[in-house]
Amino acid sequence: MNIRYSARARVQIEIVYNYIAERNASAAMVVVAYIRQAVTLLTDHPHLGRITDEKGVRMLVVPRFPYVVFYKVHREEVFILSIMHAAQEH
């Protein structure tokens, strides 16, 4: 299964990194690595995330960190819609 990020999701990862890096650059790298690692799990397990109220959208909680990945599964592709802090509204 291929993974593809929306432009929005790519910007959101950058925002997460920059926000944390202002305080601790190495911590920012760790958080982004965990987010990417969680997304990579979807390659073999695309239905790992929970179903949301929005049709076709699933959500995956990033282990150890308060981030949620919203995505859709299309045939042979997982499309990452957005990556948000759990305290943010989707």
Domain spans of the chain, in order of start: 2-85
Q: What would the pLDDT profile of 33-64 be if each residue is shown by its tens digit?
A: 999 999 999 999 999 999 999 999 999 999 99
2-85 is classed in which CATH architecture? 2-Layer Sandwich (3.30)
pLDDT in tens, 65-87: 999 999 999 999 999 999 999 88
SS (H, E, C) the chain: CEEEECHHHHHHHHHHHHHHHCCCHHHHHHHHHHHHHHHHHHHHCCCCCEECCCCCEEEEECCCCCEEEEEEEECCEEEEEEEEECCCCC
